[in-house]
Structure 1
């Protein structure tokens, strides 16, 4: 179940998860934490399995679209469906027309396996290619 974790964003387990989603140095993690603290539009949710925080996802609504800023799952729990589950719960809660994420090559297959269309943005940083991932949400058919 997703829980709003913005109120305890400074806990070490949240910083650890952010370190998997951004360049893993103290400056990058602090910059990311500050962005969530200072931007009311940015939402931050965590996924707990029992008492363990296994993942987090941060996003914002932009009109009818949902922009995923961060998603991370602790390494020992990857491949178990937590990332997919977090995205599906957010989509159910927010009901966007599109879900958009920008990522690096390591996460491209994750997004493709969820049905996102992936396009290269080219080399955004020296030696690092970035990708734009877009999922068009289909409207549920009306049942008569």
Structure 2
């Protein structure tokens, strides 16, 4: 049975880190562990995972420090489960849990279509970091 579970306390599990790696540029073990540690110690982050039986299919990490908006820090779905609604279900779970006015995220060309399909307003930030990679600010009005 598929379910969404709290995953901050188990974020360092190999199978969860493997899912998280889908959203991380150059996902070395060290980079993934550093990211996981930062999320675990931050009291303003929440982590949820889509799980079916013993398989983690997707993960979302949010920052809820702003009472009016939540920010998606990471969202990832295992390659074999992409385009099956898992990412959308994770966002909807966060909307139901936190009731934000809006959700914001920053992404690149690889994921901007997902946010657009969900209904986010997309604003191009250009090559924000000077690395030849387009970045986008994505905003979804919940209310």
TM-score for the superposition, normalised by structure 1: 0.91
Q: Provide the C-alpha distance between the structure 2 equivalents of 1:31 and 1:52, rounded to a whole number of angstroms.
A: 23
Count of aligned positions: 138
Shift of the alpha carbon at 1:31? 2.2
Which of these residues, 83, 87, 93, is aligned with residue 83 of structure 1?
87
Shift of the alpha carbon at 1:27? 3.1
- In structure 2, the residue matched to 1:142 is none
Shift of the alpha carbon at 1:25? 1.9
Aligned-CA RMSD value: 1.1
Unpaired segments ≥5 residues, structure 1: 139-144
Please give the secondary structure, in 1, of the residue aligned with 2:44. coil
Q: Provide the C-alpha distance between the structure 1 equivalents of 2:85 and 2:124, rounded to a whole number of angstroms.
A: 25
Please give the secondary structure, in 2, of the residue aligned with 1:106. coil
Q: Structure 1 residue runs of 4+, over 4 Å off?
A: none
Larger relative CO (CA 8 A, sep 6+): 1 or 2? 2
- In structure 2, the residue matched to 1:56 is 59
Shift of the alpha carbon at 1:124? 2.3
- In structure 2, the residue matched to 1:12 is 14
**Higher alpha-carbon Rg:** 1
Shift of the alpha carbon at 1:64? 1.1
After alignment, is 124-133 or 21-30 more displaced? 21-30
Deviations 1:26-65 (A, max 9, x none): 2321221121122011111111022211010000211210
| 1:132 and 2:137 aligned | yes
